[in-house]
Amino acid sequence: MSDKIYKVVLLGKIADGYDIEIAHEKLALIFDIDLKKITKLLKKPIIIRSELTYDVAVRYQT
């Protein structure tokens, strides 16, 4: 077992093969914020979770 601590960072990039509008809608639902704020949120990397174990952090990986 590792004592390393991880953080989850939203890089602001939409993965290939995903529709940008659908991705924005899903992010708005996940973060419970207005759809208009998603564009601003995706302009730069942002830490969305920190101080996680590897097992928890890897669940966020796409």
Domain extent listing, the chain: 6-60
Q: Give the 3-state secondary structure of residue 33.
A: coil
In residues, how long is the chain? 62
User: What does the pLDDT look like over 7-48, one tens digit per residue?
Assistant: 999 888 888 999 999 999 998 998 899 988 988 888 899 998
Distances in whole angstroms, Cα of residue 29 to Cα of each of 3, 9, 37, 40: 32, 18, 12, 15
Question: What's the pTM value of the predicted model, to 2 decimals?
Answer: 0.66
The one-character DSSP state at 18 is: S
Distance of CA 16 to the CA centre of its chain: 15
Q: Kindly state the percentage of the chain with pLDDT values over 90.
A: 50
CB atoms within 10 A of CB 27: 17
